[in-house]
Amino acid sequence: MEPIGEGYYYHIYNRGAHRNNLFWSEEDYREFIKKYVYYLYPCVQTFAWCLLSNHFHALIRVRTVQEQSNLYQHRKKLFLAGKYHGSQDPLIKPFIASKQISHLMNSYTRFINKKRDRSGTLIEGPIKRKKIIDKINFINLTCYIHRNPVHHGIVKKYSEYRYSSFHDFMNNRKSFTEISEVFERFGGRDNFIRAHEEFSSNTVEGTAFFLE
């Protein structure tokens, strides 16, 4: 499996070991998102995400070292001005995305193991990823990720599913999701909505994206 390189876009996904659950309660979904932001935001941009009971998907771009440095300088100014409310000065040095993803998975596994009095692995091996190579692939994958709960029969309307970034786009709420950039790639909010309504899973190259 090729390494995750800076400046590239990826579809990252994985599921529970032996196809078991990753999430059992609303607290679990919230904790995963909290850890996702803590470990990954400094080194990746996130354009779409969806958490289901036994697997998850995200569309990301790995920040370059220079972009991490720029982000650090911005957040440091907010920190010194008292407008950044983290417990310490954020982002001391550049992060390696693959290591941060591993930290996320390990931290969440420890959380679940302690909470459910279990031991052992929770995730099915290393994170899976596919490089996104063009705008069409980006658009189709965004729709695919948001519509995934419908594919798995969890809900009839993807807009009703609570644990995806689709609500961030519809409510334009503050989020780690890159809402403005995604709307720009779709050609606006109306086109974003229309593309989701007209999307067919057959337009996504490689049905291996579906985790059964």
Q: What is the pLDDT of residue 210?
A: 37
Do the strands 128-132 and 44-52 form a parallel or antiparallel pair, or are they unpaired? unpaired
Average pLDDT over residues 173-180: 88
* Residue, of 177 and 71, whose pLDDT is higher: 177
Tens digits of residue pLDDT in 137-161: 999 999 999 999 998 999 999 999 9
Could you state, in order of their start, the residue ranges of all structural domains in the chain?
9-65+93-205
Q: pLDDT for 83-134, tens place per residue?
A: 445 544 554 578 899 999 999 999 999 999 999 999 999 999 899 999 998 9
Average pLDDT for the chain: 86
What is the CATH class of 9-65+93-205?
A: alpha beta
The C-alpha atoms of residue 22 and residue 28 are separated, in whole angstroms, by 8
* Positive or negative: CA dihedral 201, 207, 208, 212: positive
pLDDT band at 46 (very low <50, low <70, confident <90, very high): very high
- pLDDT at position 123: 93
| Tokens at 9, concatenated | 């876009």
pLDDT at 2: 65
**Nearest one of 168, 164, 129, 169 to 150, comparing CA atoms:** 164
Write out the chain in H/E/C secondary structure. Answer: CCCCCCCCEEEEEEEEHHHCCCCCCHHHHHHHHHHHHHHHCCCEEEEEEEEECCEEEEEEEECCHHHHHHHHHHHHHHHHCCCCCCCCCCCCCCCCHHHHHHHHHHHHHHHHHHHCCCCCCCECCCCEEEEECCHHHHHHHHHHHHHHHHHCCCCCCHHHCCCECHHHHHHCCCCCECHHHHHHHHCCHHHHHHHHHHCCHHHCCCHHHCCC
Determine the pLDDT at residue 201: 62
**Confidence (pLDDT) at 115:** 96
Q: In what order do the strands lie in the sheet with 9-15?
A: 44-52, 55-62, 9-15, 128-132
The rounded percent of the chain whose pLDDT value lies above 70 is 84
Question: Which pTM does this prediction carry?
Answer: 0.86
Q: Report whether pLDDT(211) > 50.
A: no
Has residue 76 got a pLDDT over 60?
A: yes
Span of 47-51, 71-75, 118-122 with lowest mean pLDDT = 71-75
**Per-residue model confidence (pLDDT) at position 141:** 95
Between 132 and 1, where is the model more confident?
132
